[in-house]
Amino acid sequence: MLTEDELALLEAIRETGSLSRAAARLGRAPSTISHAARQLEARFDALLFDRRRYRLQLTPAGHLLAQEAARLMHDVARLTRRVKQVAGGWEDRLRIVTDEILEFDTLLPVIRAFDKLESGVSLRITHEVLGGTWEALREGRADLVIGATNEPPAISQLRWAELGRMEWVFAVSPRHPLGKATGPLSQQVVSAHRSVVVADSSRGTGRGYGVVAGQATLAVPTMRAKILAQCDGLGVGWLPRHRVSTLLKNGALVEKAMADPREPNVLFAAWRGDHDGRALSWWLEQIRQPRLARRLIDGLPLPG
């Protein structure tokens, strides 16, 4: 390993082309710089400096060492910042997993606000679906999950907070066979038609909401894809009421009364009690604010 002084020496000689100018830049005597350069060559047992010309130049071996030295200087500086960052209570990185039912757009203002803290914490934001969200926390792939559904499972040192409730509507395309159906629809009637579901990303047994045993399904990757598929008459199913409010108003979707209405879903934020850092605390403080929590749950209405 090179010391910081040796790294600075190589960089100064490479840029100035002179031992005396390198010495002036580093605030040291030329004889000290010359001695350090020869020690560096002896240490690597290689000719690093071409002293045959008026301008001091690096040999190919010296160029290689200088290039790698510059990279190392950057890495050392970055490591120093990261060590100070973590020593100051900030995490090195924060892994956030959102349930896919939440829209990433609603998190953009929060990310911008976090950037203004200049904490140095790297954010990694990914999404899972249904059981996959809790699974990411259980398996240590997430420090914080946002928008998880269903009751919190048994996870060591689990901490959680309710974000709020998401309202649902059973909606179909007016072109779908159920589009003109009247009266509350029974499960038996619905089961004769294909259901559109967002595929559970859990590695275990996936599940879907509102699917009757034996019912044909079309599994899609996102809630937006589910909404579009149902607008196109490719299937039926439950949709977040606020997200499809515009589509219901303009007739792209038709709301159907159900014999067995679906209860609102409680959405959770969750984290592990053994994880304690300033970034996590900041994010928890933000998502606990009622206005942001409501915006996360409502999402953005899909335009007609």
What is the DSSP track for 31-93?
HHHHHHHHHHHHHHTS--EE-SSSS-EE-HHHHHHHHHHHHHHHHHHHHHHHHHHHHTT--SE
Taking residues 62-77, what's their average pLDDT? Answer: 82
pLDDT at position 204: 61
Beta strand extents in 137-280 (DSSP E only): 144-148, 158-166, 168-172, 195-198, 217-220, 237-240, 254-255, 265-272
* 99-111 pLDDT tens trace: 999 999 999 999 9
Query: Would you say 49 and 41 are in contact if contact means Cβ atoms under 8 Å apart?
Result: yes
pLDDT digits (tens, 9 = 90+) for 1-52: 677 788 888 888 888 888 888 899 999 998 998 899 899 999 899 998 888 7
Structure-block tokens of residue 82: 């990261």
| Residue spans in the chain of domains classed CATH 1.10.10.10 | 4-87
CATH 3.40.190.290 domain extents, the chain: 168-255
Instruction: Write down the H helix ranges in the chain.
Output: 4-16, 19-26, 30-44, 60-87, 108-115, 131-138, 187-191, 223-231, 245-249, 278-287, 290-298
- Does CATH place domain 93-166+265-298 in 3.40.190.10? yes
In the predicted model, is pLDDT for residue 112 greater than 70? yes
What's the pTM value of the predicted model, to 2 decimals? 0.78
Question: Average pLDDT in the 116-123 region?
Answer: 93
Gap between the Cα atoms of 132 and 149, Å rounded: 10
pLDDT category at 209 given cuts 50, 70, 90 is low
- What is the CATH topology of the domain spanning 168-255? D-Maltodextrin-Binding Protein; domain 2 (3.40.190)
Q: Please give the pLDDT value at position 1.
A: 65
Pick the CATH number of 4-87 from 3.40.50.970, 3.40.190.10, 1.10.10.10, 3.30.70.100: 1.10.10.10
